[in-house]
A and B are shown apart, each in its own frame.
Chain A
């Protein structure tokens, strides 16, 4: 039996506050209340536009990436279905209900599918940077220099292809290194959506803002990981909305419901109705304020 070194039972970072300096502790229920321009629950729809190269790469394999031996036509095309069909169904649903959303977009999507980007922009939606393509994953094994190049490349390419530099960033699988927050700040980004420790925006020590995109409320988590039906997903979203509206009423101050959507998952013919019916339902609630990520961040920032 091996034994552990003495250092294993020593705790140099056992102190008040966190074991890192990335942000400070604060509990949501004691912060000054935030008031939205309309309603008490900001509903943030965030759609991921993802292009998976058929040859996987990067420090780790993105969720949803190729599964079978090369050439994995099955998963390459099933993912691309989202960009060709699923995303268009969602755009139509947004247009019908008049809601604005955020689209977390790979630079490769912006370059490869200009018609889609044009439709997103014409609909008044926001484009958030979502790395280069689905091989553009980040973790600590990537190295500082390569990470700077990757993020810089994604930002430049998105700016060129869309005509605007995104304010927000979503990492693939929300995974970062210890350098990521500083690199995003240096690239001029206002916010990232990776950290899921809160339900309202908060500020990192370096000034960057986190807009938590709750991974548990995503279609990927509920439908593909937990294998629930689209109707069960819709029921969970309604339960979340009802709870947040109740909490906002009882405690005062605004709450936020992030709904993360994946066109190749929720945009399928047999699932899209659950999404459309949720949208129709929530747009009818007086507590709901449908807002893009940048609108939520800006409303929050003005009250800090």
Chain B
């Protein structure tokens, strides 16, 4: 990025109208990927000068235990519903979960899910990191996930969405293929990095379950309807050029008993529609890269 500039210079402007046609495998019009966040929040993390991890002095019982619900109860419920309707997960992983609860990571591996890094913990923020510190978390992420899953991670979603001006350049340098940190489009786009290539895959904040329930205050049924509407529009527009729909999830939210039933109905609708390519983030970026290469630049 261009540090200090009013436009950070992350990408070029490509208007939605008249784009080259992207074709998804099997003639599908919308690539749908589900991104469960498998996270670990520390009970008593160090304080960062720019952000307090918890609203109360530690332990923030509700904050911590609500998220822990994922690893004890709701991950399993959410994962089973996804598997039942044929959706693989592309996991946004707090990589320290590989140490804390290897059982949860192993479950995702056994379902054939892809992993990308969401930092070491979701309670450590990247702001103000030195280059050396930032390289350390990138190298740690690659090594930790490889040891736990056998996968070389290809993507990144910054821990708690915290960045430095050099994050995207470093990802390209370490040969990552995609970032989930930019929310400017419904199609995969090229990111302008110092060297190499980096794709931006849509990871919608707007239909993230956290936004649905805690920003827009939806009920479980309203959120499920929102997903269906989002999908219907993208599947229709994707006939011109393939679109991408991301469903970012947190098990402790979507896996609650009052929400998971309506959510399952939304997944069933998308899976049965016939226009959706149920894919992982890596598969979507590969299919896009193969067709587009650097054509948009």
Contact = CB atoms under 8 A, between A and B. Distances in A.
Contacts of A198: 69, 72-73
B221 interface: yes
Nearest to A192: B61
Contacts of B69: 196-199
B59 A19 contact: no
A175 interface: yes
Contacts of A122: none
B72 A227 contact: no
Interface centre among A11, A178, A222, A244 (most CB of B within 10 A): A11
B65 A195 contact: yes
17 contacts: A1-B128, A2-B49, A4-B129, A8-B129, A9-B120, A17-B101, A19-B44, A140-B56, A140-B59, A177-B59, A178-B58, A197-B66, A197-B68, A198-B72, A239-B221, A239-B261, A243-B257
State the majority secondary structure of interface residues on B.
helix
B36 interface: no
Interface in A23-45: 25-29
Nearest to A216: B256
A176 B59 contact: yes
Given A4-B48, A194-B61, A243-B257, A28 B73 contact: yes
| Leading 9 A-B pairs by shortest Cβ distance | A197-B68, A240-B258, A197-B65, A140-B57, A240-B257, A226-B217, A236-B258, A195-B65, A243-B261
Interface of A: 1-4, 6-9, 11, 13-20, 25-29, 60, 139-141, 171, 173-178, 194-199, 214-217, 222, 225-228, 232, 235-237, 239-244, 246-247, 255, 257
A243 B28 CA distance: 32
A226 B61 contact: no
B258 A19 contact: no
B56 to A, nearest CB: 5
B103 interface: yes
B295 interface: no
Interface stretch (B130-138, B185-193, B230-238, B276-284): B130-138
A185 B199 CA distance: 54
Interface in B246-281: 256-262
A82 to B, nearest CB: 22
Contacts of B64: 197
B79 to A, nearest CB: 10
Interface string B63-106: 01111110111001100000000000000000010011111000
B18 interface: no
B101 A25 contact: yes
A195 to B, nearest CB: 4
Given A176-B61, A240-B257, A244-B257, A7 B73 contact: no
